[in-house]
């Protein structure tokens, strides 16, 4: 097995042309819920933003299909785990399609390419002398698929699921996590972007400082998993299996994976940050790979309550998108919650965002412009004449994209949307100030042509800002202005040619 040195991957990182973005891979024991939709949408927004910047993006998502939780659920339904996952994975694929997620690949941990990668990765770690055999005794939560100490448990129950913990004692293989304590602390201090947001980095640092125990990386009593390459009586612990998807999805163990590695960002929820930092980073250090950046988002509550099966308030994102529209859901989820903080979901909030921001501010803007082009210029983009200061100003302030880009770069999605909406309101103000309907009282004239052209130009610039968030809507805008939807991007306003026929609207954007 080739060992890829830190040096190679570090220099890779600086010169690379690829941006590699991931979501967690989801357990397929139940249908996808709003939490899954949230991470996928956020990752999609970032991936689309980077593609617009001209970057080659590799965006990976997928499903986590091994382990006790899945095996038990399959057993209850009376079918084999493998037929069970082949069926349930479909709803995750459907979710991505419905939400317009532009992932480049979909990894399943039951695929042969993944199984090969997990075996190769574990062999590499064993070759580093980081694996030994021992006896594990402790508490296990099947829902989390993780061990808990007496100290972590709340009245003997799982602190996340409030379900009873199972006592486990078995002989299995351990990974020397404790060996990496100092290296991790140094890396995190030197390179803050490895764990974001800041407050989460502090939490992880504090926990590591309290000391790290070695972890069990195999299970003797779980059949539904990948056999350990050196001891087929044991299967790989489902979390180690799952984390390796970030390598198998880009072709590891073939060297081509180096083109993408390390990931620019693993996006995930705060509950699984420990696995993605302390554990994943240590495993990677052991294998000699450089470390990926990790960003943990908060949890979404529903109508101020924790979303849970027992409360019966699980939100089905597919149904939401079908009822209210994919772009409405995408917009609301990102606008309403500061990325990194906990957030809340309510149908009332979603409708408010739809009616106020999407329908009134944005939808009306496009509708007004299209109606004016149809009414005053027989449906053709007019020719701009001499600009006044007000025209130059609106376009130049709209083209100022620094704040938007900085927010997007730091994954501050709600902040980016605030900036974008500030610009939408400015365009609406421009229309109210220039009053094209009054200009039109004198029939076609140069001033009217200029104003109407400038609004079209503004909409065109705007569509590139909107595209990562609400891609279908952005394309509708571009198409309505007679432009090529495949060429959506920051400079598309240059393609706006006077005389081009607009596609006067068959469908109003976000009708009330």
Residues in the site for ligand MSP, rule: CB under 6 A?
A: 24-27, 35-36, 38-39, 64, 242-243, 245, 268-269, 271-272, 299-300, 307
Catalytic (active site) residue 141: yes
Long-range contacts at 127-131 (CB < 8 A, ≥ 24 apart): 127/1, 128/286, 128/287, 128/288, 129/176, 130/175, 130/176, 130/179, 130/286, 131/173, 131/174, 131/175, 131/176, 131/217
Nearer to ligand MSP, 272 or 480 (CB): 272
Q: How far is the CB of 384 from ligand MSP (least distance, A)?
A: 47
Nearer to ligand MSP, 64 or 457 (CB): 64
Nearer to ligand MSP, 267 or 459 (CB): 267
Catalytic (active site) residue 276: no
Nearer to ligand MSP, 26 or 413 (CB): 26
| Cα dihedral across residues 279, 282, 286, 290: positive or negative | positive
Nearer to ligand MSP, 330 or 454 (CB): 330
Phi, psi of 36 (to 5 degrees): -65, -40
Residue nearest ligand MSP (C-beta atom): 269
Nearer to ligand MSP, 309 or 435 (CB): 309
Helix (H) or strand (E) holding 187: helix 181-190
Nearer to ligand MSP, 39 or 336 (CB): 39
3-state SS, one letter per residue, for 190-217: HCHHHEECHHHHHHHHHHHHCCCCCEEC
Nearer to ligand MSP, 249 or 468 (CB): 249
Residue 441 backbone class (left: φ over 0; alpha: ψ -120 to 50; beta: rest): alpha
C-alpha–C-alpha distance, residues 246 and 318, integer Å: 26
Catalytic (active site) residue 161: yes
> Bridge-partner residues for 25, per DSSP?
62
Catalytic (active site) residue 33: yes
Phi, psi of 372 (to 5 degrees): -65, -40
Q: What Å distances lie between residue 121 and 175, 241, 286, 409, CA to CA?
A: 13, 10, 10, 31
C-alpha–C-alpha distance, residues 448 and 181, integer Å: 68
Q: Which of 98, 114, 119, 141 is catalytic?
A: 141
Neighbours of 122 (CB within 10 A): 25
Neighbours of 245 (CB within 10 A): 24
Q: Which of 69, 144, 276, 281 is catalytic?
A: 144
Q: Which of 114, 119, 158, 281 is catalytic?
A: 158
Contact predicate 98/326, CB 8 Å: yes
Q: How far is the CB of 487 from ligand MSP (least distance, A)?
A: 35
Residue that is written with structure tokens 């938007």 in the block: 404
What are the residues whose beta carbons fall under 8 Å from the beta carbon of 11, sequence distance 6 or more? none
Q: Which of 36, 50, 114, 266 is catalytic?
A: 36
Q: Which of 13, 55, 123, 161 is catalytic?
A: 161
Q: How far is the CB of 332 from ligand MSP (least distance, A)?
A: 14
Pairing of strands 215-216, 131-141: unpaired
Contact predicate 220/172, CB 8 Å: yes
Q: Which of 133, 254, 309, 435 is catalytic?
A: 309
Catalytic (active site) residue 309: yes
With H, G, I as helix, E, B as strand and everything else as coil, classify residue 93: helix
Q: Quick one: DSSP state of residue 221?
A: S
Q: How far is the CB of 394 from ligand MSP (least distance, A)?
A: 38
Q: Which of 306, 429, 435, 487 is catalytic?
A: 306
C-alpha–C-alpha distance, residues 201 and 209, integer Å: 12
Nearer to ligand MSP, 158 or 242 (CB): 242
Q: How far is the CB of 95 from ligand MSP (least distance, A)?
A: 12
C-alpha–C-alpha distance, residues 349 and 354, integer Å: 9
Catalytic (active site) residue 266: no
Q: How far is the CB of 33 from ligand MSP (least distance, A)?
A: 7
Nearer to ligand MSP, 24 or 482 (CB): 24
C-alpha–C-alpha distance, residues 287 and 128, integer Å: 7
Quote the Cα angle for 243-248-252, to 5°.
125
Catalytic (active site) residue 512: no
Helix (H) or strand (E) holding 345: strand 343-345
What are the residues whose beta carbons fall under 8 Å from the beta carbon of 289, sequence distance 6 or more? 4, 6, 9, 261, 262
Of the candidates 340, 316, 361, the residue with the CA atom closest to the CA atom of residue 98: 316
Q: How far is the CB of 387 from ligand MSP (least distance, A)?
A: 47
Catalytic (active site) residue 306: yes
Q: How far is the CB of 245 from ligand MSP (least distance, A)?
A: 6
Catalytic site positions: 33, 36, 141, 144, 158, 161, 306, 309
């Amino acid at each position: 097995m080739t060992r890829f040195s830190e040096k190679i991957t570090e220099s890779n990182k600086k010169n690379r042309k690829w941006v590699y973005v991931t979501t967690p891979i989801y357990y397929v024991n139940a249908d996808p819920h709003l939490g899954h939709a949230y991470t996928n949408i956020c990752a999609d927004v970032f991936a689309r933003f980077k593609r617009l910047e001209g970057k080659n993006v590799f965006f990976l998502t997928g499903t986590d299909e091994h382990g006790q939780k899945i095996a038990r659920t399959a057993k209850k339904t009376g079918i084999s785990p493998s037929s069970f996952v082949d069926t349930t994975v479909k709803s995750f694929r459907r979710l991505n399609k419905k939400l317009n997620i532009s992932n480049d690949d979909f990894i399943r941990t039951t695929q042969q390419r993944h199984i090969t990668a997990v075996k190769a990765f574990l062999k590499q770690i064993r070759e580093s002398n980081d694996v030994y055999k021992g006896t594990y005794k402790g508490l296990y939560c099947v829902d989390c698929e993780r061990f808990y100490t007496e100290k972590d448990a709340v009245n003997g129950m799982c602190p996340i699921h409030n379900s009873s913990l199972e006592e486990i004692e078995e002989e299995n293989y351990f990974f020397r996590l404790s060996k990496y304590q100092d290296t991790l602390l140094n890396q995190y201090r030197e390179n803050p972007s490895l764990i974001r947001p800041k407050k989460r980095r502090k939490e992880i640092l504090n926990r590591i400082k309290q000391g790290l125990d070695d972890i069990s990386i195999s299970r003797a009593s779980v059949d539904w998993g990948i056999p350990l390459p050196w001891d087929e009586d044991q299967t790989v612990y489902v979390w180690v299996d799952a984390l390796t998807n970030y390598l198998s999805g880009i072709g590891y163990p073939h060297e081509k994976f180096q083109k993408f590695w390390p990931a620019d960002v693993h996006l995930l929820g705060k509950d699984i940050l420990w696995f993605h930092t302390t554990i994943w980073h240590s495993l990677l250090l052991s294998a000699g790979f450089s470390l990926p950046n990790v960003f943990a988002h908060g949890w979404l509550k529903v109508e101020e309550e924790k979303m849970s099966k027992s409360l019966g308030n699980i939100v089905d994102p597919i149904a939401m998108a079908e009822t209210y529209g994919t772009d409405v859901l995408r917009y609301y989820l990102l606008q309403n919650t500061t990325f990194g903080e906990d957030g809340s979901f309510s149908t009332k909030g979603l409708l408010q965002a739809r009616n106020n921001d999407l329908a009134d501010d944005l939808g009306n803007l496009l509708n007004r412009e299209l109606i004016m082009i149809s009414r005053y210029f027989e449906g053709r983009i007019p020719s701009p004449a001499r600009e006044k200061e007000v025209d130059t100003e609106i376009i130049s302030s709209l083209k100022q994209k620094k704040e938007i880009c900085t927010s997007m770069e730091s994954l501050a999605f709600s902040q980016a949307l605030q900036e974008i909406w500030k610009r939408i309101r400015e365009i609406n103000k421009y229309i109210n100030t220039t009053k094209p309907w009054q200009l039109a009282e004198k029939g076609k004239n140069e001033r009217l042509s200029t104003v109407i052209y400038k609004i079209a130009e503004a909409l065109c610039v705007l569509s590139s800002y909107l595209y990562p968030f609400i891609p279908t809507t952005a394309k509708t805008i571009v198409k309505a202005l007679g432009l090529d939807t495949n060429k959506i991007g920051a400079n598309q306003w240059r393609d706006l040619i006077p005389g081009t026929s607009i596609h006067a609207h068959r469908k109003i954007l976000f009708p009330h």
